[in-house]
Amino acid sequence: MNNTIRLTPTNVFQYIGNEIIFKTRGIEIIKRIISVSTTGKTIQIEHPDLQNSLEIVSRKVCVIL
């Protein structure tokens, strides 16, 4: 996708409420950012398979613009 920006611990705070795209178990998934941890390394999403939490430093997570 051309209209995406990779999430980092420094830029993640400005994208709360936006949709993200990431891969898990070989499938691309689109979810919305609910909240961000104080360190900016973990985001909260609605996805029980991942315990509603996604670490953005160990996986490629992009914001859909």
Q: Domain holding 40: CATH number? A: 2.30.30
Sheet containing strand 19-24, edge to edge, reads: 4-6, 61-64, 19-24, 27-32
1 — pLDDT class (breaks 50, 70, 90): low
pLDDT tens digits, 41-57: 999 999 999 999 999 99
Residue numbers of the domain that contains 27: 4-64
Report residue 47 as tokens.
């996805």
Structure token pair of residue 51 = 């315990």
pLDDT band for position 2 (cuts 50, 70, 90): confident
Give how many domains the chain has, as a whole number. 1
The overall longest dimension of the chain from CA atoms, in Å, is: 29
Q: Residue 59: pLDDT band by 50, 70, 90 thresholds?
A: very high
